[in-house]
Structure 1
Amino acid sequence: MRTTSLGRSGPAVSALGLGGLPLAGAYGPADDPAAIVRHALDLGVTLFDTADYYGRGAGEEILGRALGRRRDGVVLATKTGILHRDGGPPGLDGSPEHLRRACEASLRRLGTDRIDLYYLARIDPRVPVEESMGALAELVAAGKVGRVGLCEAAPATLRRAHAVHPVSALQTEYSLWERHVEAEILPVCRESGVTLVAYRPLGSGLLAGRRIDPRTLPPGDFRHRDPRFAPGNLGPNLALADELTALARQAGTGPAELALAWLLSHDGVLPIPGTLDRTHLEADLGAAELRLEEAVAEALDGLLPPHGPAGERYPPGLLATVDHG
């Protein structure tokens, strides 16, 4: 596995990380999530990503146990700032008090004395980002956090945060069919020496060549609420996925490998695909060794229609929390 630098000053991490959302059951029951973590370790993955709201803490517990004695050989990332509610969209809390409490709770669940990369998962509109970053900087000074990241922050917000304390990573959705970052966010990241960590790099499975039928998905699978899997949107999006599969066939590889290799061809981008399947994991990581021919790269660049895929990124309540600033 080739490596890349996380932020301008390191550390070195694997060119692809492992996203932890599937481990906590967001795409249906996870029979043995620890086995996927261990397999990823064996294949050279050194960046593992989770959040305190994945499974209401279960994601952190699962990852902490799975890493076990191999924890010191990896960069462990987690996120906070999103609060579960029994009904309606989640709440946000970027207050210093919450960040301090949440950090202690995450350390306990992860079974570690430090979080290598700690993200503010969303920008709380009630709390100036400078206050949130100040609290995160205090956690770094205390040795409980190694580096700081933001998720779904607008370019101006990233600059304001970076002025308080260096931001090593900005996590947001980026894939062949979700390219909003290219206009402003990615250039600001490069200007500031911030790694863009791309989540949902395979469009929740559609860009991996899977003919997903929401009617067959298990209860609790997030895609039941994903607008891009809704009736009226799924058909056009499957057609886009079919075009990707055809390009992959011509290139002698699989659609997941090709979609991830396209992301890796962009400087400063680190994808974190998530999976519960060993074969899919091996295919994903194979993208690190794939080099795109110019004609293939150009075809991929032109794959998405100007209006983007059918459907918004999230349901309305969640959509209101992204790219905030």
Structure 2
Amino acid sequence: MSHAQGLTRRQILTLAAAASAVFTLGPSGAQTSPAAGTGGKTMMTRVIPSSKEPLPAVGLGTYRGFDVAPSDPAYRSLPAVLDALFEKGGKVIDSSPMYGRAEQTTGELLSIHEPRSPAFLATKVWTRGREEGIAQMEQSFKLLQTDRIDLMQIHNLLDWQTHLPTLRQWKEEGRIRYIGITHYTASAYDEVEAVLKAEPLDFLQINYALDDRGVEKRLLPLCRDRGVAVICNRPFGGGGLIARLQGKPLPGWAAQVGIKSWPPLALKFLLSHSAVTCVIPGTGNPRYMTENASAGFGPMLTDAQRHQLIALLD
């Protein structure tokens, strides 16, 4: 725990035990199981095109939710968020130096999980300059308490030409397994497209939501053609989407695809696109993590069902 800034293993275990007690109580107060409702089935996986490695379709974003210190009451729920992710079969945990304390919190909490191996760790480099980038990424290794990061991404394409050679070298050396780029705004799509066409990459992380479908025009088809895995950030459209949907009744067919509420249905809409590999809704709430993970179970949506959801927002 050399990078926990004074937080001891005993303190983390105490917090984890308290959080687990919270996690086992459902909304009604009845005891529940993290695997309840899956019917014994495992979460759907999608193949990473560049390696053919299967990746669980629903992961976890750490923006905001994991940017908390151990002294914050919100920290106490985070061990149970990871429990919910792993119990449901998820693996991807996405972070960034941009997310405040999120990398450090992730590293602290993963250090008490046995085994730690289920996590597919994704983070980013977000600075200018070769040496600055190397220093920041080395710090990410320390904060995440790992000697290998599964996916290193160039955050918002910041100085990507400078960082890409370092990432390629580290991939050859085995320090990172995959290389990617990220963005979150439509104004960057032309540059994203140009980089995807010019450089062989393993992953693109991009904004995609039921009410934010601009990537469907060119970027998703391009990723499919180029063999690039796609991670969807901002899958709830920045939060406004769910507020718009909550007042509407779920479609009658929702239960047939294993869905009981709007958030996982919004996620299943994204996963029903053939180019999408994984969605990473962010949360610090274990109940929401369990709810989000349900999108990775059951049948995907038909084209007709996808169009019906789009029409609800028009």
> Which of 303, 306, 310 does residue 312 from structure 2 map onto?
303
- Contact kept, 8 Å, 2:208 with 2:215, in 1: the verdict is yes
How far off its partner does 1:250 sit?
A: 6.2
* Map of 2:264 onto structure 1: 257
- Report 1:71-90 matches (<5 A): 71-81=116-126
Q: How many pairs are equivalent?
A: 256
| CA distance in structure 1 between the partners assigned to 2:173 and 2:109 by the alignment | 26
Q: For 1:262-321, what per-residue CA distance to the aligned partner results, in whole angstroms no more than 9, with x for missing partners?
A: 11100121211122222222221111124335543221132344xxxxxxxxxxxxxxxx
- Contact kept, 8 Å, 1:19 with 1:49, in 2: the verdict is yes
* Map of 2:25 onto structure 1: none
RMSD between aligned residues:
2.5
| CA distance in structure 1 between the partners assigned to 2:312 and 2:203 by the alignment | 27
Q: For 1:52-100, what per-residue CA distance to the aligned partner results, in whole angstroms no more than 9, with x for missing partners?
A: 2211xx211111122224332331101121xxxxxxxxxxx34322221
Matched residue type, 2:55: V
- Report 1:192-207 matches (<5 A): 192-207=226-241
- TM score, norm. by length of structure 1: 0.71
Whether 1:135 aligns to 2:166 is: yes
Matched residue type, 1:203: G
| CA distance in structure 1 between the partners assigned to 2:190 and 2:51 by the alignment | 20
* Map of 2:87 onto structure 1: 42
Q: For 1:166-219, what per-residue CA distance to the aligned partner results, in whole angstroms no more than 9, with x for missing partners?
A: 3111111111011121122112111111122111212344444xxxxxxxxxxx
* Map of 1:65 onto structure 2: 108
| CA distance in structure 1 between the partners assigned to 2:133 and 2:268 by the alignment | 35
- Contact kept, 8 Å, 1:107 with 1:115, in 2: the verdict is yes
Identity %: 29
- Structure 1 residues without counterparts, runs of 5 or longer: 82-92, 209-237, 306-325
| CA distance in structure 2 between the partners assigned to 1:155 and 1:33 by the alignment | 37
- Contact kept, 8 Å, 2:60 with 2:280, in 1: the verdict is yes
SS in 2 for 1:149: strand
- Contact kept, 8 Å, 1:61 with 1:110, in 2: the verdict is yes
Q: Larger deviation: 141-150 or 292-301?
A: 292-301
| CA distance in structure 2 between the partners assigned to 1:163 and 1:74 by the alignment | 30
* Map of 1:187 onto structure 2: 221
Whether 1:167 aligns to 2:210 is: no
- Contact kept, 8 Å, 2:267 with 2:292, in 1: the verdict is yes
How far off its partner does 1:161 sit?
A: 5.7
Q: For 1:4-35, what per-residue CA distance to the aligned partner results, in whole angstroms no more than 9, with x for missing partners?
A: 12343243211111111112259x94443122
* Map of 2:294 onto structure 1: 286
> Which of 265, 274, 277 does residue 282 from structure 2 map onto?
274
Describe the shift of the 1:35–1:247 C-alpha distance in structure 2 as closer, same or farther (beyond 3 A).
closer
| CA distance in structure 2 between the partners assigned to 1:274 and 1:37 by the alignment | 12
Whether 1:8 aligns to 2:50 is: yes
| CA distance in structure 1 between the partners assigned to 2:128 and 2:204 by the alignment | 16
- Contact kept, 8 Å, 1:38 with 1:66, in 2: the verdict is no
| CA distance in structure 1 between the partners assigned to 2:195 and 2:287 by the alignment | 42
| CA distance in structure 2 between the partners assigned to 1:162 and 1:107 by the alignment | 30
* Map of 1:247 onto structure 2: 250
| CA distance in structure 2 between the partners assigned to 1:162 and 1:97 by the alignment | 27
Whether 1:154 aligns to 2:189 is: yes
- Structure 2 residues without counterparts, runs of 5 or longer: 1-42
How far off its partner does 1:138 sit?
A: 1.6
| CA distance in structure 2 between the partners assigned to 1:276 and 1:74 by the alignment | 17
Describe the shift of the 1:137–1:31 C-alpha distance in structure 2 as closer, same or farther (beyond 3 A).
same
